[in-house]
Chains A and B, each alone.
Chain A
Amino acid sequence: MGDPRLGSRLKAVRTEAGLTQAELADRAGVSRKTINTVENGVFIPSTLLALSLAKALGTTVEALFYLTD
């Protein structure tokens, strides 16, 4: 389930890196639907998943997610 307090730059960073959802999913070892739900704010990733995504994109968790308030 999503939470409006969590902002995400995942889609922007992914497209900047030249990756499709499926490619990022493959790199991070998750399903494409995981990427889709996180990008759309439907699902809040755990710390582990956020770190995996940041590692797969060669960035930090703070660069991918932020608090909206």
Chain B
Amino acid sequence: MSNPTVPEATDEIVVLLRAERRRQGRERFGVMAIVTGILTGGVTLTLSKVGSISDGGASVGFAIAAVLGLLGAATALLWRRGLAARRLEGLIGRRDRLQRVRNDRIYAGSITGWGLVAVGLSPMWRIVQGQADGDDFGIAAATALSPLFVVMSVAGWEGMAQLNRRWLEDEVTRDIRRRALSLGFIVLMPAMTALFVIGLWERDWVVMGFPATLMLAASVAGLRFVWLDQQAEGGEGG
């Protein structure tokens, strides 16, 4: 049944896919550590401005943020794209290549969006306290828009998706998208309900928590999309 000359090319793709997946896992861990560092720094800064933590506590928070940032940067640099990735791109078609680029963008948006949420915490706090300037409103708007970017990427509405629609859209992608967005929506509903309940007592926290809630649902949808797409790529055999 099998032709000995045929599976070799597919086997190489499978081997390269596995190698790439291992590398991407480490690189993504690095990106996640950097964003967790930014998130820790943002929360620490906001809490210190609000006066919820002491100077000592803030120092510990900033130190943890710095360590996470450095660890993440080193990891991401050590496991950046190499020869295996380039060889894989040479073997798979344009369609698969572009879909891999899309996945990387969705993953990056799903994780780095949390960094933007962290950066936006202090400006949002100043806005709810009535002490904001023009920049604060700009940063707060950017914070609220970052989940939208992720959702648009998953839905295939952003520029790259529109430009390469012919290559990026297929039946499997539509199925994966449906499942990813459904999970995002399932997360969004209870999260927004919880935020509403909190808002009955602490109205300021609704404004502060809104971008994080949207980002939670968007990143769940984004990461689910990336995971399902990776599963579809396979790697078990030709």
Contacts and interface: CB of A to CB of B under 8 A. Distances in A.
Nearest to A43: B172
A21 to B, nearest CB: 5
Contacts, number: 79
Interface stretch (B4-12, B35-43, B186-194, B214-222): B4-12
A12 interface: yes
Interface in A8-57: 12, 15-16, 18-23, 25-26, 30-34, 36-37, 40, 42-43, 45-46, 49
Given A22-B13, A32-B93, A32-B96, A49 B233 contact: no
Given A31-B93, A43-B232, 10 more contacts: A1-B175, A15-B7, A21-B238, A22-B96, A31-B95, A31-B170, A33-B172, A34-B172, A40-B234, A43-B171
Interface of A: 1, 12, 15-16, 18-23, 25-26, 30-34, 36-37, 40, 42-43, 45-46, 49
Nearest to A13: B1
Contacts of B7: 15, 20
B19 interface: no
B24 interface: no
Contacts of A20: 6-7, 9-10, 13, 238
A22 B10 contact: yes
Interface in B200-238: 229, 231-234, 236, 238
B164 to A, nearest CB: 12
The 6 A-B residue pairs with the shortest CB-CB distance, nearest first, are A36-B234, A33-B232, A20-B10, A20-B9, A31-B95, A34-B172
A25 B5 CA distance: 18
Contacts of A46: 171
A45 B170 CA distance: 11
Interface residues of B, number: 27
Contact of B229 (A15, A22, A30, A33): A33
A25 B96 CA distance: 9
B171 A22 contact: no
Nearest to B6: A18
Contact of B99 (A23, A31, A36): A31
- Most B CB contacts (10 A, CB to CB) among A1, A15, A16, A43 go to A15
Contacts of A42: 231-232
A31 B96 CA distance: 6
B235 to A, nearest CB: 9
B129 interface: no
A21 B9 CA distance: 9
A45 B171 contact: yes
Nearest to B93: A26
A10 B238 CA distance: 12
